Amino acid sequence: MATSSSCSSLKQHFLVFLIVIISSIINSPVNGCFTSIFSFGDSLTDTGNLLELSISESTKPPHSAFLPYGCTFFHRPTGRFCDGRLVIDFLAEALGFSFLPPFYGFKSGKWEKFRQGANFAVAGATALNSSFLAEQGIHSVSTNISLGVEVNSFKHLLPSLCSSSSNCKELLRKSLIVMGEVGGNDYNHAFKQGKNIENIRRLVPLVVDIISLSIKELIELGAVTFLVPGNFPIGCSPSLLTSFHGSEKDQYDPLTGCLTWLNQFSQHHNELLRKELENIRNLHPQINIIYVDYYKASTPFYQSPKNYGFKETLKACCGIGGLYNYDPLIYCGYPPLKQCCNDPSSYISWDGIHFTEVVNKWLAHTVFEELMNTIPRLGSLCPLSTVNKLRILYPMFGV
């Protein structure tokens, strides 16, 4: 019979062995899966591009350049509009990559840092170009970069990553393209600038067309696997709830307190986007297009917040004033708003516009599920070992 000391010794050896195995998994890429990630979008995906642009253009840095942004995970501001990681960060981690470097502001000749991917998402970016929006009387407040500009930047980078057209196609065949979320700013700017709802609805098919054209352009270059998120329930956003504070009582969802008509607008965008993605699938059956339903994934946070550990659903963690702790004239990070709530993980909204890190982590679960559900169609790109690795890395998600 084994003694208690020998049992203890065996347990210690097993724990050491387990730590070594898990460490090797975490620190190695997912072999046989994607070799790079290229990402497009706005502030929900921006890992520092707007900050880099402000530095290179000697303009005022965005409020994401200051604490308390980054306080939860990085413990310093990184240009991310969050207290910590974004969905794209969790996705990169799960697939064995470092955090995607921002493309803008790079130093000439240092292309090698983009070998495993690059992030082109810029906070404030729109799907439609700024000149067209300006003709509609809609003005961007932070940048004139649109999805088309981001895609053109990617096309500018690509020849530096591969020596020939065939090599570029092979690179993109093994790459994951994350297309958005994008288009939200086209609508948000219009809503906040007092545009008529019917005029804003006319933008939706135009936004969806731009997303579609961008995907098709990348398909022509050789990309075969796309993650395309939809829009969120914007009627639950503290910023828009503040803009439309005082609406008629029957315009609010009695269960969540969100504005129903704004959420219906998000659903309209998502419906048109899903239909267009299906059209692309029919035209290109060999292409993997994975729609990520952010609306469906985030709705339970507002309907059953206690199930996810949330105490505040419609108030901003880093904010000030009013029913929703949000003032459009006082930005989180800029004086006097240099402090945030004591526990960001108990809030859904970080700064009235963007989610807290814990919400992004839950949303990443949806991304992983959609990606894993598509593995049979991905064939040689992502073998079963990828699924097993994700189960070890993210057991809390039940992938």
Question: Strand order in 288-292's β-sheet?
Answer: 117-119, 36-40, 175-179, 225-229, 288-292
258: pLDDT strictly greater than 50: yes
Residue 28 is assigned to a structural domain of this protein: no
354 is catalytic: yes
Query: What does the pLDDT average to over 187-202?
Result: 96
Range of the domain at 144: 34-312+357-390
With a cut of 70, say whether residue 50 has pLDDT above it: yes
- Among 53-57, 82-86, 303-307, where is mean pLDDT lowest? 53-57
Question: Tell me: the pLDDT tens digits for 211-254?
Answer: 999 999 999 999 999 999 999 999 999 999 999 999 999 999 99
Task: Calculate the average pLDDT of the chain.
Answer: 88
Please check whether residue 327 lies inside any domain of the structure.
no
Residue 180 pLDDT > 70: yes
pTM of the model: 0.89
Residue 76 lies in a domain: yes
345 within a domain of the structure (yes/no): no
pLDDT, mean of residues 63-85: 98
Which of the following is catalytic: 43, 64, 153, 345? Answer: 43
Position 30 scores a pLDDT of 40
Judge whether 43 counts as a catalytic residue. Answer: yes
Residue 160 has pLDDT above 70, yes or no: yes
Q: What is the domain-level CATH number for residue 180?
A: 3.40.50.1110
Specify if 163 maps to a domain. Answer: yes
Instruction: Evaluate whether residue 321 is within a structural domain.
Output: no
* Catalytic residue (choose from 42, 89, 186, 351): 351
Count of structural domains, the chain: 1
Banded model confidence at residue 373, pLDDT cuts 50, 70, 90: confident
pLDDT of residue 113: 87
Judge whether 5 counts as a catalytic residue: no
Q: Which of 63, 189, 269, 354 is catalytic?
A: 354
In a domain, 352, yes or no: no
Torsion of CA 232, 240, 299, 67, to 10 degrees: 80
Cα–Cα distances in Å, from 280 out to 80, 85, 212?
Answer: 32, 31, 8
Which of 48-52, 96-100, 110-114 is predicted with the least confidence, judged by mean pLDDT? Answer: 110-114
